[in-house]
C-alpha cells in the first residue's frame, strides 16, 4: 500500500512537471512557447491596466478577443486585489481570468503588478503604501521620498515575493493540467522616474562601495560579447574592488547602471522563488529610452537593451527582455531587442491599424515569440466600408455585394492580419530560425525591399501603390504594407500580407536582364486558405490579377495568402 501511494505521488509529480509550459530556444536569438508539447506563437493583445479588475470586464473583454481571433491575452493580476489585507489572500480575480480564458479558448500571460507598475508603486496594497517605515520609498538627491518602493528594502522584497509566490502556488494547484497561463511578467516597466537612481542613505552607501564580485566576474567572462554600450563604459584602469563610479566613470549613466543592478537582483529573487513553486517562463518588459531623454526622464534602470548584460547576470531566472513600443521607427526598436542573446517579444505596442503590418513583420523577419497591442479590448473586429471606394481592392462583384449585404463591414486590419497568422502559424513555426522565411515592412519612407531566397531568386517587393492605379496611390502619404514570404519547396512560395506587389529575377544577375541571364516566370498563382496544414484554393489568379504573369499582388486594403510557383526559362 505504501509503495502504491509513493508511485501515485511520483506519477502526479511527473505529470505536473513534464507537461508544464516551457520556453524552447532554437538558439539564443530565437525562442518560442511550448504548451503540451506543441510550440505556439503568441498572436495576442494586452488588456488595459484596469480591464481585468472586475468579473464583468473580464467576461466582456475575453469574449470579444475570442471573436477577434487572438490565441493569447496578456492580463494584469494586481497585488492590491490579491492581498487586500496583509496576510489575507484572495484569488477570485485570478480565478475569473482562468475561467473566462478557458471558456474562450485563450492562453494567458499574467502581468504581476507588484511593487512597481510603470515605475510607480501604485498597484501595491493600501496597507503597504501607508506603512513607509516598514516599506520605505526611494529618495531624490534632496532627500524627498518618491512614490516608488525601495529596491534595497528586505521588507519590500519579502512582502512582494510572498504575494507573488501565492499566485504561483494557485496556478500550480489549479492550472497545471489546463496550462491556461503560459508565461509570467515580473513587475511592470520597472525603473526610476524623477532621478537616475535612489539617493537614500543605504543606496548611496552601496553606490560608493565595491561593485559586487558576481558582476565583475561576469563582465570578465563575457567581455567579448558584452553590449557595445557597456563595453565602452568600462574603465580600463579600474582596479579590483573598484566602486561603481571607478569601474564605469562618475556620471548619471553609471548611476543608471547601479540602479539597474538593484532592480535585476530584486527581480531575480522574486522570479527564482516563483519558479521553484511552478516553473513557468518569465520575462520583464521595458519602457523605452526614447526621444533623447536621460535616465530618470525615462524609467532609469529598467531592462533596456544596452543594459542587457546586467539583467542576464543579476536575473538569470528571467528568460526574455521584452520591448514595449510607443515610439516611431519600429524597425529600429525591433532590431534593438532582437539580439544574439535575446529573442524578440512585443508584449505592448500602441494600438493602431498599422499593427496589422507590424505583426507580420515581427513574426516573419524577427522570429518573434509574440506580438500584443495594448488595450486590445478597445479594438473593433470589423471595419465599415460602405462609404469607401472599393474599386481598387481587387474584389469581385460578388465579394462587394456580400460586404454590403453584411452591413458594409469587413474584418478590421488587425483582425484580418491575425486571421492569416493563425492559419499559417504551424508553417511559420516550422521555419523559425531558418532561411525559408522572411518578411518586409513598407511605408511612406521605404516603399521597396527585396528578399534573396535559398533558390537564388531575388524577390523585389514594392508597395502596391507603386503600380499607380489603386485609390490613394497619388496621395503624399502611403500607409504601411507588409508581407511574410514562406518557402515551401524549390521555387515554391507563400506570401501572407497586404499592400504588396512582388516581381522576381535571378539573384545571380543584376536587377535588369542581360544577355545570358536566366529569366524567372510565374508558373502558378492562387489565393488560398490554410486548414490543418493543407492549402485550399479559394481562387486561381491569372490575367489582370498577376499582370499576365509579371507579378504577384495583394492590393492595399486586402489581406490574403497567395501560393505561387516560379520557373526559369
- Angle (CA) 484-490-496 rounded to 5° is 15
Cβ neighbors of 380 (< 8 A, separation 6 or more) are 412, 415
Q: Same domain, yes or no, for 38 and 183?
A: yes
Domain final residue, candidates 378, 402, 432: 378
CB-count exposure of residue 155 (10 Å: 0-12, 13-18, 19+): middle
Cα 140 to Cα 328: distance, rounded to the nearest angstrom: 31
List own/partner pairs for 84-90 with CB under 8 A and 24 or more apart. 84/125, 84/126, 85/125, 85/127, 86/125, 86/127, 86/128, 86/159, 89/163, 89/166
Q: What is the pLDDT of residue 399?
A: 56
**Do residues 102 and 178 lie in contact, with contact meaning Cβ atoms separated by under 8 Å?**
yes
Residue that has been written with the C-alpha cell 527582455 in this structure: 321
Inside any domain, residue 226: no
Q: What is the pLDDT of residue 348?
A: 98
Cα 287 to Cα 520: distance, rounded to the nearest angstrom: 46
Q: Same domain, yes or no, for 426 and 482?
A: yes
Q: Same domain, yes or no, for 82 and 169?
A: yes
**Do residues 192 and 121 lie in contact, with contact meaning Cβ atoms separated by under 8 Å?**
no
- The three grid cell numbers given for residue 391, joined into one nine-digit string: 474599386
- Angle (CA) 359-365-371 rounded to 5° is 30
Q: What is the pLDDT of residue 12?
A: 46
CB-count exposure of residue 112 (10 Å: 0-12, 13-18, 19+): buried
66 — phi, psi (to 5°)? -60, -45
Residue that has been written with the C-alpha cell 496611390 in this structure: 473
Instruction: List Cα–Cα distances, 467 to 65, 407, 463, 562, in angstroms.
Output: 36, 31, 8, 19
Q: Same domain, yes or no, for 46 and 173?
A: yes
**Do residues 469 and 524 lie in contact, with contact meaning Cβ atoms separated by under 8 Å?**
no
Strands (E), 167-263: 181-188
- 119-139: burial string, b at 16+ Cβ within 10 Å, e else: bbbebbbebbeeeeeebbbbb
Tell me which H or E stretch contains 89: none
Q: Per-residue DSSP letters for 154-191?
A: HHHHHHHHHHHHHHHHHHHHHHTTT--EEEEEEEES--
The pTM assigned to this predicted structure is 0.93
Inside any domain, residue 242: no
**Do residues 337 and 23 lie in contact, with contact meaning Cβ atoms separated by under 8 Å?**
no
Inside any domain, residue 2: no
**Do residues 315 and 260 lie in contact, with contact meaning Cβ atoms separated by under 8 Å?**
no
Q: Same domain, yes or no, for 415 and 343?
A: no
Q: What is the pLDDT of residue 396?
A: 53
Q: Same domain, yes or no, for 364 and 445?
A: no
- The three grid cell numbers given for residue 144, joined into one nine-digit string: 524627498
**Do residues 259 and 199 lie in contact, with contact meaning Cβ atoms separated by under 8 Å?**
no
Q: At 25, which CATH number? A: 3.20.20.80
Cα 166 to Cα 181: distance, rounded to the nearest angstrom: 15
Q: Same domain, yes or no, for 431 and 342?
A: no
Q: Same domain, yes or no, for 166 and 32?
A: yes
Per-residue model confidence as pLDDT tens for the chain (569 residues): 544 444 444 444 434 444 589 999 999 999 999 999 999 999 999 999 999 999 999 999 999 999 999 999 999 999 999 999 999 999 999 999 999 999 999 999 999 999 999 999 999 999 999 999 999 999 999 999 999 999 999 999 999 999 999 999 999 999 999 999 999 999 999 999 999 999 999 999 999 999 999 999 999 999 999 999 999 999 999 999 999 999 999 999 999 999 999 999 999 999 999 999 999 999 999 999 999 999 999 999 999 999 999 999 999 999 999 999 999 999 999 999 999 999 999 999 999 999 999 999 999 999 999 999 999 999 999 987 655 555 445 555 455 445 444 455 789 999 999 999 999 999 999 999 999 999 999 999 999 999 999 999 999 999 999 999 999 999 999 999 999 999 999 999 999 999 999 999 999 876 666 777 789 999 999 999 999 889 999 999 999 999 999 999 999 999 999 999 999 99
**Do residues 204 and 150 lie in contact, with contact meaning Cβ atoms separated by under 8 Å?**
no
Strands 72-78 and 42-46: parallel
Inside any domain, residue 51: yes
Inside any domain, residue 1: no
Radius of gyration of the chain measured on its C-alpha atoms:
26
Inside any domain, residue 298: yes
Beta-bridged to residue 319, according to DSSP, are none
Cα 183 to Cα 111: distance, rounded to the nearest angstrom: 9
Domain final residue, candidates 378, 409, 434: 378
How many other CB atoms sit within 10 Å of the CB of residue 27?
12
Residue that has been written with the C-alpha cell 507537461 in this structure: 19
Under DSSP, the state recorded for 540 is: E
Q: Same domain, yes or no, for 394 and 276?
A: no
Inside any domain, residue 288: yes
Q: Same domain, yes or no, for 390 and 306?
A: no
End-to-end Cα, the chain, rounded Å: 76
Q: What is the pLDDT of residue 508?
A: 87
Domain final residue, candidates 378, 410, 428: 378
Instruction: List Cα–Cα distances, 176 to 38, 451, 474, 552, in angstroms.
Output: 16, 43, 56, 46
What is the count of structural domains for the chain?
A: 2
Strands (E), 242-347: 282-286, 320-325, 345-346
**Do residues 28 and 341 lie in contact, with contact meaning Cβ atoms separated by under 8 Å?**
yes
Cα 271 to Cα 512: distance, rounded to the nearest angstrom: 56
Q: At 463, which CATH number? A: 2.60.220
Cα 29 to Cα 449: distance, rounded to the nearest angstrom: 23
Residue 538: strand, helix, or coil: strand
Instruction: Supply the range of the domain harboring residue 458.
Output: 382-568
Q: Same domain, yes or no, for 177 and 288?
A: yes
Q: Same domain, yes or no, for 357 and 388?
A: no
Inside any domain, residue 125: yes
Cβ neighbors of 88 (< 8 A, separation 6 or more) are none
Cα 150 to Cα 164: distance, rounded to the nearest angstrom: 17
Cβ neighbors of 487 (< 8 A, separation 6 or more) are 431, 435, 436, 437, 453, 454, 455, 493
Cα 40 to Cα 124: distance, rounded to the nearest angstrom: 33
Under DSSP, the state recorded for 342 is: B
Q: Which of 147, 149, 92 is nearest to 270 (CA)?
A: 149
Amino acid at each position: 500500500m505504501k509503495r502504491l501511494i509513493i508511485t501515485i505521488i511520483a506519477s502526479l509529480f511527473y505529470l505536473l512537471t513534464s507537461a508544464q509550459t516551457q520556453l524552447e530556444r532554437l538558439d539564443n536569438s530565437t525562442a518560442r512557447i511550448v504548451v503540451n508539447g506543441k510550440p505556439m506563437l503568441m498572436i495576442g493583445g494586452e488588456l488595459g491596466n484596469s480591464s481585468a479588475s472586475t468579473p464583468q470586464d473580464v467576461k466582456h473583454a475575453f469574449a470579444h478577443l475570442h471573436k477577434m481571433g487572438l490565441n493569447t491575452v496578456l492580463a494584469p493580476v494586481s497585488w492590491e486585489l490579491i492581498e487586500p489585507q496583509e496576510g489575507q489572500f484572495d484569488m477570485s480575480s485570478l480565478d475569473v481570468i482562468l475561467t473566462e480564458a478557458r471558456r474562450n479558448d485563450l492562453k494567458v500571460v499574467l502581468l504581476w503588478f507588484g511593487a512597481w507598475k510603470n515605475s510607480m508603486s501604485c498597484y501595491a496594497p493600501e496597507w503597504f503604501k501607508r506603512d513607509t517605515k516598514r516599506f520605505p520609498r526611494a529618495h531624490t538627491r534632496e532627500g524627498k521620498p518618491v512614490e516608488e518602493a525601495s529596491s534595497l528594502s528586505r521588507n519590500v522584497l519579502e512582502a512582494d515575493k510572498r504575494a507573488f509566490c501565492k499566485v504561483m502556488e494557485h496556478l500550480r494547484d489549479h492550472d497545471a493540467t489546463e496550462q491556461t497561463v503560459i508565461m509570467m511578467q515580473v513587475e511592470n516597466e520597472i525603473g526610476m522616474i524623477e532621478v537616475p537612481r535612489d539617493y537614500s542613505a543605504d543606496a548611496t552607501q552601496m553606490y560608493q562601495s565595491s561593485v559586487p564580485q558576481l558582476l565583475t566576474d561576469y563582465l570578465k567572462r563575457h567581455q567579448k560579447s558584452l553590449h557595445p554600450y557597456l563595453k565602452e563604459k568600462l574603465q580600463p584602469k579600474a582596479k579590483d574592488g573598484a566602486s561603481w563610479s571607478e569601474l564605469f566613470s562618475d556620471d548619471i549613466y553609471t548611476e543608471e547602471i547601479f540602479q539597474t543592478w538593484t532592480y535585476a537582483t530584486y527581480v531575480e529573487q522574486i522570479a527564482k522563488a516563483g519558479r521553484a513553486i511552478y516553473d513557468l517562463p518569465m520575462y520583464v518588459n521595458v519602457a523605452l529610452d526614447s526621444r533623447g531623454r536621460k535616465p530618470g526622464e525615462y524609467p532609469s534602470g529598467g531592462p533596456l537593451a544596452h543594459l542587457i548584460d546586467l539583467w542576464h547576470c543579476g536575473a538569470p531566472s528571467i528568460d526574455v527582455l521584452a520591448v514595449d513600443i510607443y515610439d516611431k521607427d519600429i524597425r529600429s526598436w525591433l532590431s534593438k531587442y532582437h539580439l544574439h542573446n535575446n529573442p524578440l517579444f512585443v508584449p505592448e505596442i500602441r494600438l493602431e491599424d498599422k499593427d496589422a503590418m507590424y505583426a507580420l513583420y515581427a513574426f516573419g523577419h524577427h522570429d518573434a515569440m509574440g506580438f500584443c497591442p495594448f488595450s486590445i479590448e478597445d479594438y473593433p473586429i470589423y471595419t465599415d466600408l460602405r462609404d469607401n471606394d472599393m474599386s481598387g481592392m481587387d474584389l469581385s462583384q460578388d465579394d462587394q455585394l456580400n460586404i454590403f449585404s453584411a452591413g458594409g463591414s469587413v474584418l478590421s486590419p488587425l483582425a484580418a492580419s491575425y486571421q492569416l497568422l493563425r492559419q499559417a502559424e504551424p508553417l511559420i513555426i516550422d521555419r523559425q530560425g531558418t532561411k525559408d522565411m522572411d518578411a518586409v515592412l513598407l511605408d511612406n519612407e521605404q516603399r521597396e525591399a527585396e528578399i534573396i531566397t535559398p533558390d537564388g531568386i531575388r524577390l523585389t517587393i514594392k508597395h502596391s501603390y507603386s503600380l499607380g492605379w489603386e485609390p490613394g496611390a497619388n496621395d503624399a502619404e502611403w500607409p504601411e504594407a507588409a508581407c511574410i514570404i514562406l518557402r515551401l519547396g524549390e521555387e515554391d512560395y507563400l506570401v501572407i500580407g497586404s499592400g504588396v506587389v512582388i516581381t522576381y529575377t535571378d539573384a545571380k544577375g543584376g536587377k535588369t536582364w542581360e544577355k545570358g541571364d536566366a529569366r524567372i516566370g510565374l508558373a502558378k498563382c492562387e489565393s488560398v486558405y490554410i486548414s490543418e496544414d493543407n492549402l485550399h484554393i479559394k481562387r486561381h489568379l491569372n490575367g489582370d490579377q498577376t499582370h499576365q504573369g509579371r507579378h504577384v499582388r495583394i492590393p492595399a486594403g486586402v489581406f490574403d495568402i497567395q501560393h505561387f510557383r516560379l520557373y526559369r526559362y
